[in-house]
Amino acid sequence: KRYGGDKDDGGKHYADRFEEWLTQMGWLGPVPAPVDLQKRVDRSYTLSREKEDIWPKGCIPDAQTNQTLKAVLEWFVPKTRTTPAVQLIVPGGGYVGDSRGEDDNETIPIACEFNRRGMTAAVIHYRTPRPLDLAKHESARQDIQRAIRMARYEAPKRGLDPDRIGILGFSAGGHAVLLAATTSQ
């Protein structure tokens, strides 16, 4: 209880973490082989995946000729929904690329896990690579803000609550999420 917060679990939480550290150091025998996350992803809870362009044709702000990957919002719809909330997920990639496609080990497992728990998830794929004549994150920030507006607009049509939208990001995606949140109106 002294180090673990409100709940006294007899130190089990810290014992588990210590055992994990000992294992990673190789002091408890051979380190287990890495786990292929794609094999652990349970897609059986996902009813459908739907992709839509974030920007209408000809309406992309600060369009860059070098950005070959366009901005896309990919919805992961659960088979059984237990909450009207939506979780938006933004991948990393250093603003030069992001994890797109079926070999995505960053966003697909997370979206499928939210689906398993009965929550709709949507992945925001922002434009990449970095813009040539703007700040490295500017395109991503614009895409994320537009995707949030789209999610709010579409929420009632999908039976979701437009006031219950969460967002998380990994690495550069986390940076872009914070920029989008702190610079929005």
Nearest one of 75, 63, 66 to 142, comparing CA atoms: 63
Residue of higher predicted confidence among 114 and 9:
114
pLDDT of residue 7: 54
All residues at 6 or more sequence positions from 7 whose CB lies less than 8 Å from its CB, including other chains: 1
High-pLDDT (> 90) share of the chain, %: 45
Specify whether the CB–CB gap between 168 and 89 falls below 8 A: yes
Give residue 20's pLDDT: 77
26 backbone dihedrals φ, ψ, rounded to 5°: 85, 10
Mean pLDDT score, 170-174: 89
> For residues 63 and 83, what is the distance between their CA atoms, to the nearest angstrom?
37
Average pLDDT over residues 69-75: 92
Average pLDDT over residues 137-143: 91
- Helices first, then strands: H and E counts in the chain: 5, 5
Per residue in 73-102, pLDDT (tens digit) is 999 999 999 999 999 999 988 888 777 766
Contact 78, 50 (CB under 8 A): no
Report the candidate in 164, 147, 138 with the shortest Cα–Cα distance to residue 52.
147
pLDDT band at 5 (very low <50, low <70, confident <90, very high): very low
pLDDT attached to residue 36: 64
Once rounded to an integer, what is the mean pLDDT over residues 111-132?
Answer: 92
Question: Cα 30–36–37 angle (5° rounding)?
Answer: 125
